[in-house]
Amino acid sequence: MRFCLTIVIVLLVTVNCRQKKNHIPAHFPLPVTTIISVTDKEAQLGELLFYEPALSGNSKLSCASCHNPLLAFSDSLSLSIGARGEKTFRNTPSLANLAWNSTFFRDGGVSDLETQVIGSVTSPREMNERFFNIINKLNSKEGYKNKFMEVYGSDSITGQRIIHAIAAFERTLISANSVYDNYLTDKRPLTVLQSKGLSVFEQKCAVCHAGVLFTDNNFHNTGLDTVFPPMKQFDAPELGRARVTRKIEDVGKYRTPSLRNLSLTAPYMHDGRFASIEEVLNHYSSGVNKSCYTDSLLMKNGVIGIRLTENDKRELLSFLQTLTDSSFVGL
């Protein structure tokens, strides 16, 4: 009975949160990883597991605890709280359009969704659990063996199947129905203020926040900090991308986040230091710190940062609000 109730809750919460499974929006590029091969049943099982607290060491924390669908699969915290009660090192990113990502985590530590699932589940600061324990817990819950039988033709619950099912669900999280998307597909024009904001955006922001996905899938040091740990401390989270590549030129670099559903995913930056979009715009306009690691895109002709007038900021904010996809979050 409890298992059936869980299914109903999941469906009620997420029924309007996604584009049709296996559907690639006509105005999107081809995904990096295939979503065509994702079956409805496997994605549905992955969705159920996404909301399953048995995946955490304390059996209280699910993937959805930090990736709330009503917040575009973010959590409104600067740094999330893991199963051991400790803060994580990174702000929780949105999970929209992951099939188009070539790397995952803020520093690009992994290159596929399956490894991302493993990393999040087993990390001591996140879900802090081992798959051996998860399998035992799921085997003891009513209904799961039948669900695995329906999807895989065998009721054997394995770590590999759990990982693949969650990754399959995450690949169906497609956000492509915002005001801006309707503008691109000739369904709705932008207002005058939104159009002006789009113009400012294309001139000053689109180099990194590129295309309809609003990311270049690359890594940049955006001048947030000037002091970093020495490179010998390879596990120091403050090293950013350099923690992964061990290259000095990658110090303080983080993956360019998509701007889709930006209005719902505060606070911002890899450590959630900025509470509002206005604070982010102020940083790029007048708060960029110059160091030997600061991206050259933010230093041109002796000027550091991206000069934005108050009017530019007002217009930009109006445009950025057009990137909210109400259907993705079930509003």
Same domain as 157, residue 28: yes
Lowest pLDDT segment from 2-16, 85-99, 173-187, 275-289? 2-16
330 — pLDDT class (breaks 50, 70, 90)? confident
Q: Does residue 328 sit within a domain? A: no
Question: What is the pLDDT, as a whole number, of residue 12?
Answer: 40
38 — pLDDT class (breaks 50, 70, 90)? confident
- Which residue bears the tokens 């990982």? 163
Same domain as 271, residue 163: no
248-283 confidence digits (pLDDT tens): 999 999 999 999 999 999 999 999 999 999 999 999
* pLDDT at 34 exceeding the cut of 90: no
* pLDDT at 14 exceeding the cut of 60: no
* pLDDT at 8 exceeding the cut of 90: no
Domains of the chain: total: 2
Q: How many CB atoms lie within 10 A of CB 145?
A: 15
Query: Containing domain of residue 271, as a range?
Result: 179-323
Tell me the C-alpha distance between 12 and 60, whole Å. 20
Q: Does residue 158 sit within a domain? A: yes
The mean pLDDT value for 132-148 works out to 97
Q: Please report, to the nearest 10 degrees, the dihedral formed by the alpha carbons of residues 308, 312, 315, 317 taken in order.
A: 20
216-253 confidence digits (pLDDT tens): 999 999 999 999 999 887 789 999 999 999 999 999 99
Average pLDDT, the chain: 92
Q: Are 66 and 80 in contact (CB under 8 A)?
A: yes
Same domain as 201, residue 61: no
**Residue 304 host element (H or E):** strand 303-304
Q: Are 217 and 101 in contact (CB under 8 A)?
A: yes
23 — pLDDT class (breaks 50, 70, 90)? confident
Sign for the CA dihedral angle at 205, 209, 213, 216 comes to positive
Same domain as 167, residue 183: no
Tell me the C-alpha distance between 48 and 11, whole Å. 9
Q: Apex CA 163: angle with CA 153 and CA 72, to 5°?
A: 120
Q: Does residue 330 sit within a domain? A: no
Which of 2-11, 149-158, 322-331 is modeled with the greatest confidence?
149-158
Best CA proximity match to 263, nearest among 316, 204, 203: 316
Percentage of the chain modeled with pLDDT above 90: 85
Q: Does residue 217 sit within a domain? A: yes
Q: Does residue 124 sit within a domain? A: yes
* Adjacent-strand bridge partners of 253: 240
62-115 confidence digits (pLDDT tens): 999 999 999 999 999 999 999 999 999 999 999 999 999 999 999 999 999 999
The one-letter code for the residue type at 89 is F
* pLDDT at 331 exceeding the cut of 70: no
The mean pLDDT value for 9-22 works out to 44
Q: Does residue 144 sit within a domain? A: yes
Same domain as 252, residue 225: yes
Q: Are 2 and 8 in contact (CB under 8 A)?
A: no
Burial of 2-28, coded b for 16+ CB within 10 Å and e otherwise, reads eeeebeeebeebbeebbbebbebbeeb
Residue that is last in its domain, among 129, 150, 171: 171
The reported pTM is: 0.91
Q: Does residue 84 sit within a domain? A: yes
Same domain as 299, residue 189: yes
Same domain as 86, residue 157: yes
Same domain as 28, residue 95: yes
Question: What is the pLDDT, as a whole number, of residue 22?
Answer: 55
Residue that is last in its domain, among 136, 171, 206: 171
Residue that is last in its domain, among 171, 195, 225: 171
- Residue 275 sits in a domain whose CATH number is 1.10.760.10
Phi, psi of 197 (to 5 degrees): -65, -40
Same domain as 195, residue 51: no
Q: Does residue 331 sit within a domain? A: no
The gap from C-alpha 251 to its chain's centroid, in whole angstroms, comes to 21
- Which residue bears the tokens 């041109």? 300
Sign for the CA dihedral angle at 244, 264, 40, 37 comes to negative
